Copies of this chain bind each other. A is one copy, B any other.
Amino acid sequence: MEAKINQIAELINAEVQGNGEGVITHPGKIEDAGPGAITFFSNAKYEEYLYQTQATAIIVGKDFNPRKPVPTTLLKVENVYLALSILFEFFDENKVKIKGISPLASIHEGVEVPDSVYIGPFVHIEKGVMIGENCEIQSHVYIGTNVQIGNGVRIFPGVKVHADCRIGNAVTLHANAVIGSDGFGFARDSDGNYRKIPQIGNVVLKDNVDIGANTVVDRASMGSTIIEEGVKLDNLVQIAHNVVIGKNTVIAAQAGIAGSSQLGSNNQLGGQAGIAGHIKIGSENLISGQSGVMSDLGDNNRVFGSPAYSHLQFFKAFTVTKKLPEIEKRLAQLEKKVKNDTK
């Protein structure tokens, strides 16, 4: 796979500054990209590499003005990451479409599999499952009874999807993720023993949802756990029963949402963040890593801490917290002084 700079510029809608005739053979990281590579610059931490690179071309934001001469061709774009998304797709060797049903798969006889679909070895598909066009269901996947799967869905090895769940179009489920496991619902009897509350709901993943590796989305106790369109969940995330996550919300690894909580759209949760149960989070919030949101939250907040509150207030208080031993001493001295003064 190779292309001239000018061809790539056209692909990613970039303005070329410098020689557009160079040949690109692969993408590379700015720290170590050599001749033939196309790289990118976005995070200011890496600016020094920009002026030393041996790469054949660099993608930068259209408003970026280098402080020194850059020794290679610049491709100026509106949105660097969007350009990368297109560029990497161009160079992605794994994008070759596979098709066909492995003879080692176990598919219930009544299930119709479109010709455009790939089903890997050791896949087990139960009764009543419906599968759309152009899906890829890799090895060791389990699809429970009556699950419905849209078009263009990619299911990586080892994923388990339990009965009655609904998977929208263009959904991606990464390896060993579990969709539709039982919610954590028990009733305590008069002897103090826990008795299971059967979880008779399901999980609904809308279009363009991504679910990370080893992430778990529990089925609702009743009704549906709902992940709205465009939501992206990273690895090892926990979504409890009856949760609703609004459109284009992004949740980083190891974060968890407790039962019945509802999140609006366009929220961003950092890694290891937690949301308590039965609360409502509005839209457009930034919830920092390791934060714990324990009560309702409106829109457009940036929060930090456990329990979480205003990011700005948290860091103001944090600065003082570190000085507390000194503050305590100052207080004690003052008390002594005042006592002495007023004897």
With A162-B175, A317-B325, A328-B327 as contacts: A84 and B184 at CB distance below 8 Å? no
The answer to whether B341 touches A193 (Cβ under 8 A) is no
A4, CB-defined interface residue at 8 Å: no
Separation in Å of the A232 CB from the closest CB of chain B?
Answer: 6
Complex interface residues of chain A between 83 and 121 (CB less than 8 A to chain B): 83-85, 88-89, 91-95, 102, 104, 106, 120-121
The answer to whether A316 touches B325 (Cβ under 8 A) is yes
Question: Which secondary structure characterizes the binding site on chain A?
Answer: loop
The answer to whether A276 touches B289 (Cβ under 8 A) is yes
The answer to whether B342 touches A266 (Cβ under 8 A) is no
The answer to whether A327 touches B320 (Cβ under 8 A) is yes
The answer to whether A189 touches B79 (Cβ under 8 A) is yes
With A43-B278, A197-B88, A272-B274 as contacts: A27 and B337 at CB distance below 8 Å? no
Partner of A156, one of B160, B187, B193: B160
28 A-B residue pairings within 8 Å (CB atoms): A27-B200, A29-B222, A79-B188, A84-B187, A84-B197, A85-B186, A85-B187, A85-B198, A93-B200, A104-B106, A106-B139, A120-B124, A122-B124, A140-B140, A140-B142, A142-B158, A158-B158, A192-B248, A193-B208, A212-B216, A214-B214, A218-B235, A234-B240, A254-B256, A271-B274, A272-B292, A317-B325, A330-B331
Report the 3 A-B pairs with minimum CB-CB distance, sorted nearest first: A81-B187, A320-B324, A181-B213
- Closest chain B residue to A310, Cβ basis: B322
1/0 per residue, CB under 8 A from B, across A144-167: the answer is 000000000000111010110000
A65, CB-defined interface residue at 8 Å: no
A298, CB-defined interface residue at 8 Å: no
How many chain A residues touch B (CB < 8 A): the figure is: 119
> Which residues of chain B have C-beta atoms less than 8 A from A218's C-beta?
213, 235
With A82-B187, A174-B182, A187-B85 as contacts: A253 and B236 at CB distance below 8 Å? no
> Which residues of chain B have C-beta atoms less than 8 A from A266's C-beta?
192
- Closest chain B residue to A192, Cβ basis: B248
Whole-angstrom CA separation of A95 from B338 in the bound complex? 74
Whole-angstrom CA separation of A289 from B257 in the bound complex? 11
> Which residues of chain B have C-beta atoms less than 8 A from A200's C-beta?
27, 88, 91-94
Separation in Å of the A51 CB from the closest CB of chain B?
Answer: 19
Complex interface residues of chain A between 169 and 201 (CB less than 8 A to chain B): 172, 174-176, 178, 181-182, 184-190, 192-200
